[in-house]
């Protein structure tokens, strides 16, 4: 039988430009998750800073945030828990004269405090493109971790099924998605049709991605004060079942849940998605003819 993996999905409100306060709150959640036997804890995107790129203090705060990776490594080792510390915006420049390149980075830290994986956000949401640099045509990578083969995506990546396909073609069983997704990400025309359009989008697509890829999806979204547009809805979703747990609304909180990995094996036996992807004559090129094909098929 496949193993059971206990995970904690954490929905917190990132107070703007208050990294130490946000870290302290995240640490409290993570220690509680470890005490409940969780093997993995996942935080939201921008959890240290919120998303305030036009604030004059934003860059100065960001330049200090890379130090928190080591703090999370120390915490992971102390508590014996794997941590995906949401995303951390990092400033990178090749020399002093070069303009800062801001990268939105997600890490997988194992229970011994080692960095087992790193991913730079690829699909930038429209307003982010003025401020962030994406990972371009770099291939999505799968990482061997204590909880199995894991793929990392970030927020708007969720809208691109190609990203999931590239990961499961390399054998990923768990896809982790730190997110800062708000109800106000919908334009006025969409909100007139349905004020809860973004919630509908999230709930629908998370279940769809789990089914169509026979994988588990861990989605950790930011929460926040009522009436401010925070979507919340953090959840862990698997095929056949849909959400195993869901933090409804935007309130801060944490849910610890068991993922029975046998569900993924049973779903694959039924839908045979991975088996089809592994065929030599598979008929879709997810790189649209511009990149390598078949990467990782032998590991499906």
With cut-offs at 50, 70 and 90, classify the pLDDT of residue 281: confident
Considering the chain, what percentage of its residues have pLDDT values greater than 90? Answer: 80
What does the radius of gyration of the chain's CA atoms come to, in whole angstroms?
19
- What residue ranges in 215-292 does DSSP mark as E strands? 216-221, 235-238, 242-246, 253-260
How confident is the model over 53-68, as pLDDT tens digits? 999 999 999 988 989 9
Residue 296, in any domain of the structure: no
Distance separating alpha carbons of residues 251 and 59, to the nearest angstrom: 28
Distance separating alpha carbons of residues 52 and 59, to the nearest angstrom: 10
Looking at residue 95, its pLDDT comes to: 46
Residue 294, in any domain of the structure: no
Residue 52 predicted with pLDDT over 80: yes
Residue 163 sits in which domain range? 4-284
Looking at residue 298, its pLDDT comes to: 46
Question: pLDDT higher for 277 or 154?
Answer: 154
How confident is the model over 207-259, as pLDDT tens digits? 999 999 999 999 999 999 998 999 999 999 999 999 999 998 899 999 999 99
Looking at residue 289, its pLDDT comes to: 44
Residue 295, in any domain of the structure: no
Residue 69 predicted with pLDDT over 60: yes
Most confident among 13-17, 99-103, 135-139 (mean pLDDT): 13-17
Residue 59, in any domain of the structure: yes
DSSP codes of every residue in 46-104: TTTT-S-TTSTTHHHHHHHHTHHHHHHHHHHHHHT-EEE---EEEEE-SSTTSPPEEEE
Q: What is the pTM of this model?
A: 0.92
Residue 290, in any domain of the structure: no
- Indicate the average pLDDT of the chain: 92
Question: What interhelical angle do 67-79 and 19-35 show, nearest 10?
Answer: 20
Q: How many domains does the chain have?
A: 1
Residue 121, in any domain of the structure: yes
With cut-offs at 50, 70 and 90, classify the pLDDT of residue 135: confident
CATH number for the domain that contains residue 203: 3.60.110.10
């Amino acid at each position: 039988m496949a193993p059971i993996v206990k995970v904690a999905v954490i929905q917190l409100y990132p107070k703007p430009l208050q990294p130490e306060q946000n870290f302290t709150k995240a640490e409290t959640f993570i220690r509680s998750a470890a005490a409940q036997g969780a093997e993995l804890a996942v935080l939201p995107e921008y959890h240290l800073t919120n998303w305030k790129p036009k604030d004059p203090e934003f860059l100065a705060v960001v330049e200090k945030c890379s130090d928190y990776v080591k703090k999370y490594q120390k915490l992971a080792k102390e508590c014996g828990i794997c941590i995906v510390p949401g995303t951390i915006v990092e400033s990178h420049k090749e020399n002093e004269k070069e303009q800062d390149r801001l990268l939105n980075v997600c890490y997988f830290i194992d229970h011994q405090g080692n960095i087992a994986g790193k991913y730079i956000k690829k699909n930038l949401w429209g307003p982010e493109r003025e401020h962030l640099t994406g990972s371009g045509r770099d291939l999505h990578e799968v990482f061997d971790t204590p909880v199995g083969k894991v793929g990392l995506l970030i927020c708007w990546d969720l809208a691109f099924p190609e990203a999931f396909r590239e990961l499961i073609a390399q054998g990923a069983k768990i896809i982790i998605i730190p997110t800062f997704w708000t109800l106000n990400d919908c334009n006025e025309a969409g909100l007139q049709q349905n004020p809860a359009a973004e919630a509908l989008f999230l709930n629908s697509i998370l279940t769809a991605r789990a089914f169509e890829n026979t994988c588990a999806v861990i989605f950790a979204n930011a929460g926040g004060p009522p009436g401010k547009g925070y979507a919340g809805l953090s959840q862990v979703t698997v095929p056949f079942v849909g959400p195993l747990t869901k933090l409804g609304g935007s309130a801060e909180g944490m849910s610890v849940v068991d993922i029975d990995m046998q569900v993924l094996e049973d779903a694959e036996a039924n839908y045979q998605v991975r088996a089809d992807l592994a065929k030599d004559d598979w008929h879709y090129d997810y790189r649209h003819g511009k990149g390598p094909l078949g990467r990782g098929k032998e590991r499906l």
